[in-house]
Structure 1
Amino acid sequence: MSDNKIGLTAEGHAVVQGGYGVSAGLPGVLRMIDTFDRPGNASATGPYANAGAFAEGFENKPGKRLPKAGANTEAGVSHARAEWSVFDAEVKGPNTSAGVNASAADLGASAFAKAELASASATAGPVKATAGLSANTGVSVGPTGVEAKLLGTGFSIGRKTSFSLFGSGIEFNQE
């Protein structure tokens, strides 16, 4: 097993980012309590490549008792991010990623692939706006929702409700 580990979420991720999108949700307002006094931080990286895999379960350790497994890979030309207080901004150049996840604890599974030409996003508390050009394809199934995308067209229903057509769409987050 690699020391590189990837995070696991109930719904995985197969979000379409193309054209533009805006999202907001009550939990975002509550998360502002944790970030209103966050100091400023910025980072930028040139060409990058990462890969990771994990498989764990049936160990008497926190987070390792129930089986879960996953693998992901990503590569890109550039990535920059800045954050301060309740604000975040992120810009990505050409990049690709793919991943699979399954978890008995979440009763969910996901698989996705993404190719992105460029994107820029800005967050202010619970409101997030994204503009970019990418085509995501994937599926995610779990007790908190269902999501399906094929070359930028699809939907998600559950904690996150979204509809997209040819890469442009709208998203409502209750996460």
Structure 2
Amino acid sequence: MGKLLLKQGNGEMTNKPGSASTDATYAEAGTYADGFEDKPGKRIPKAGAEAAAGVGRARAEWSVFEAEAKGPNASAGVHADVLGVGAMARAEVAGASASAGPLGVKVALGVDTGVDLRGGSAEVKLLGCGVSVGRKMGISLFGSELSLQLW
């Protein structure tokens, strides 16, 4: 696993860090349970768990731009808080995604199945096909997706 930190700047604008990383294989898992602590991100009660594993992953980001490519991978996650609940499972043969600010595009061959209700959005997917409505508007077809974050 390697990480590269890039610094990019433009004239009078403040330099914003960029980053790039690659993983030959990866496996990640985690749980969280927070609430009623006087710390940012821990005041509202919430709990969840997630796990992901795959072969081949490359990611880059700079300013409002992000791009990622993955080989075969699988993931699953659940979450619950006062703002929403959800459970989603994913399996992909391969995929690539990019976003620029509120616009996101993903080209993949995979199956996502689950429901996610949070932050003013509702997302429902079955075998990679589904829709997102609300704050995030999107449509998915067999793992590929086009989405727009409205606010």
What is the one-letter code of the residue matched to 1:109?
V
Q: Which residue of 2 aligns with 1:141?
A: 117
CA–CA distance in structure 2, aligned partners of residues 61 and 125 of structure 1: 28
- Greater RCO, CA 8 A, separation 6+: 1
Q: For the Cα contact (< 8 Å) 1:38–1:86, is it kept in 2?
A: no
Q: Kindly indicate which of the two structures has a greater share of residues assigned to helix.
A: 1
Q: Which residue of 1 aligns with 2:35?
A: 57
Mind listing any 5+ residue stretches in structure 1 that lack a counterpart? 1-34
CA–CA distance in structure 2, aligned partners of residues 130 and 97 of structure 1: 16
Aligned length: 139
Q: Kindly indicate which of the two structures has a greater share of residues assigned to strand.
A: 2
CA RMSD in angstroms comes to 2.5
CA–CA distance in structure 2, aligned partners of residues 86 and 58 of structure 1: 32
How far does residue 127 in structure 1 lie from its aligned partner after superposition? 4.1
Q: Which residue of 2 aligns with 1:93?
A: 71
Residue 173 (str. 1) matches residue 140 (str. 2): no
CA–CA distance in structure 2, aligned partners of residues 171 and 42 of structure 1: 23
Residue 103 (str. 1) matches residue 81 (str. 2): yes
Q: Which residue of 2 aligns with 1:83?
A: 61
How far does residue 63 in structure 1 lie from its aligned partner after superposition? 3.2
Mind listing any 5+ residue stretches in structure 2 that lack a counterpart? 1-12
CA–CA distance in structure 2, aligned partners of residues 61 and 81 of structure 1: 30
Q: For the Cα contact (< 8 Å) 2:104–2:148, is it kept in 1?
A: no
CA–CA distance in structure 2, aligned partners of residues 36 and 81 of structure 1: 23
How far does residue 74 in structure 1 lie from its aligned partner after superposition? 0.5
Superposed CA offset, 1:48-77 (max 9, x none): 111101112233444333321000001011
How far does residue 128 in structure 1 lie from its aligned partner after superposition? 3.5
TM-score between the two structures when normalised by the length of structure 1: 0.67
Percentage of pairs with the same residue: 54
Q: Which residue of 1 aligns with 2:92?
A: 116
Residue 156 (str. 1) matches residue 132 (str. 2): yes
Change (3 A) 1:65 1:154: same
CA–CA distance in structure 1, aligned partners of residues 119 and 102 of structure 2: 24
TM-score between the two structures when normalised by the length of structure 2: 0.77
- Secondary structure of the corresponding residue to residue 140 of structure 2: strand
